[in-house]
Amino acid sequence: MAETRDPAEAAGPAPPRTSLSDTDLGPPEGRSAGRHAETDSRTRRRRPEPEGLGGALRELVPLVLSALVLAILIKSFLIQAFFIPSASMEPTLEPGDRILVCRICKVFSDVTYGNVIVFSDPHPAPHEDRGIAGGFLHWLGEGIGVARPEDADFIKRVVAMEGDTWEMRRGVMFVNGIQVREPYLAAERDSRDFGPETVPDGMLFVLGDNRLHSGDSRFPPPGGLGYIPEEKVVGEAFVIAWPFGRIGGID
């Protein structure tokens, strides 16, 4: 007679139950264990602490130096600001005006009649010998605006160019026998006579718009400027940048 067994007993002992608490005791084997270990190590990794003032300075210094270099490059080759100290260019420019001068414009176009230009002193005093290092530091100071330029700068209007014959008759300007139309002049006119003279090669004849109060190419130094070598031109003045009420182009 066959022996009757309980089905559960025939199947053998039941496998142990796996509870949620058993699983939480430790990581399972294999890849998932590796991921848990990696997560734990990242969690334990300390975050970098702030570097304080030293770190801020290390970041700030390169930014400041870059800004200074950029400012010097712009001032030396592109655009430079100037302050108008006198009334010699009234009414076009008034004392206290801040203007912008395009330095790079002379690379792409020649100076021509009617341009308002800034130029260096055509008859400068001898320069102080500062040596190589001192000269570089002075140039750097000029670039960032903390050192005075070695040569004075002037601003006038181009009226005649090389080879032209100019003459002023009772305050009226003639170039090559043709009267020059000058709507920019101050109301008070200079009625004196000058010339005729021919502008030498490589030179410019410049005048202030306020003829009664301008030492310009009509007069030789020291009372005036005489003719201006073209290589002394810094650039063309193109806009009044300040004060706010006078912002606009320069004609």
1 CB-near residues (< 8 Å, 6+ apart): none
Handedness of CA 73, 76, 77, 78 (dihedral sign): positive
Residues 45 and 120: their CA atoms lie apart, in Å, by 64
Residue 19 annotated in active site: no
Q: Which of 156, 214, 217, 232 is catalytic?
A: 156
Phi, psi of 128 (to 5 degrees): -70, 135
Query: What is the greatest pairwise CA distance in the chain?
Result: 153
**Which alpha helices (DSSP H) does the chain contain, by range?**
7-10, 20-23, 31-44, 52-73, 105-108, 131-144
Q: Which of 66, 75, 88, 191 is catalytic?
A: 88
153-161 and 203-207 beta bridge pairing: antiparallel
Residue 21 annotated in active site: no
Block residue for tokens 């690379």? 107
Write out the catalytic residue numbers. 88, 156
